């Protein structure tokens, strides 16, 4: 009698688990990011004892940051740009969003800025890291209903520019929309295939 009972309920339980699995994955606390669509950016470079440079504004069309890929440039104008590079041994951008907490977490350690600055009345190109490697920011804001995000952080830097030691602070703000990594189609196919097998097993049992 015990074996018959087991045979009767386990297909239904298995079917329920595979029906719920995709929904559980979709509503997981932390979901990897596929791309960030940036439609507003602000870059402020404050040079120690030598002025501040501001680069900001809307981005049209929006710049797309693809996770796992280096991009040069991501966004920028004539005298500045924000980009990612493998030249310094840092990983390509990665990140995740948490819809329940309303936060976004990213690793932008490969992100840098190039900007034209003036040293003793002569223009020079500063290339500085943007991501604070010692105490990187954790979080930001994320709206799971609209997929909108904001990121704001600052990084202190010391760089050699054409023989001059340049120190200062780079402050970055990004805003736009997140595209989370889609649930793999294989999960749905596997679940539907297993449900088919369960149905066949039940029909054989009835026969």
**29 falls in which pLDDT band (50, 70, 90)?**
confident
Q: What is the pLDDT of residue 57?
A: 84
pLDDT of residue 95: 96
Per the DSSP assignment, residues forming a β-bridge with 130 are none
Residue pLDDT, tens place only, 39-55: 999 999 999 988 999 99
Q: What is the pLDDT of residue 180?
A: 94
- Residue 199: pLDDT above 70? no
The SS3 call for residue 87 is coil
Please classify residue 113 by burial: count the beta carbons closer than 10 Å to its beta carbon, then call 0-12 exposed, 13-18 middle and 19+ buried: buried
Q: Residue 90's pLDDT is what?
A: 97
Whether 9 has a pLDDT exceeding 90, the answer reads no
Task: Say which DSSP state 54 is in.
Answer: E
- Report whether 95 contacts 105 (CB < 8 A): yes
Cβ atoms of residues 57 and 47 within 8 Å: no
Ramachandran region, residue 14 (left: φ > 0; alpha: ψ -120 to 50; beta: rest): alpha
Query: What is the three-class DSSP state of 52?
Result: strand
């Amino acid at each position: 009698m015990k074996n018959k009972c087991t045979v009767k309920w386990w297909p239904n339980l298995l079917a329920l688990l595979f029906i719920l699995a995709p929904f559980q994955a979709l509503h997981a606390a932390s979901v990897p990011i596929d791309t960030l669509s940036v439609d507003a950016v602000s870059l402020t470079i404050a040079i120690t004892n030598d002025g501040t440079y501001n680069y900001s504004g809307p981005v049209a069309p929006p710049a797309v940051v693809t996770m796992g890929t280096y991009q040069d440039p991501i966004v920028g104008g004539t005298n500045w740009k924000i980009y990612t590079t493998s030249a310094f041994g840092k990983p390509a951008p990665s990140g995740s969003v948490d819809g329940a907490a309303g936060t976004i977490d990213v690793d932008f350690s490969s992100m840098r800025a190039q900007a034209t600055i003036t040293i003793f009345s002569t223009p020079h190109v500063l290339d500085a890291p943007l991501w604070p490697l010692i105490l990187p920011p954790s979080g930001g804001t994320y709206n799971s209903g609209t997929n909108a995000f904001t990121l704001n952080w600052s990084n202190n830097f010391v760089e050699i520019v054409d023989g001059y030691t340049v120190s200062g602070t780079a402050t970055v703000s990004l805003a736009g929309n997140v595209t989370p990594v889609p649930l793999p189609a294989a999960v749905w196919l596997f679940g539907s295939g297993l449900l088919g097998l369960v149905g066949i097993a039940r029909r054989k049992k009835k026969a």
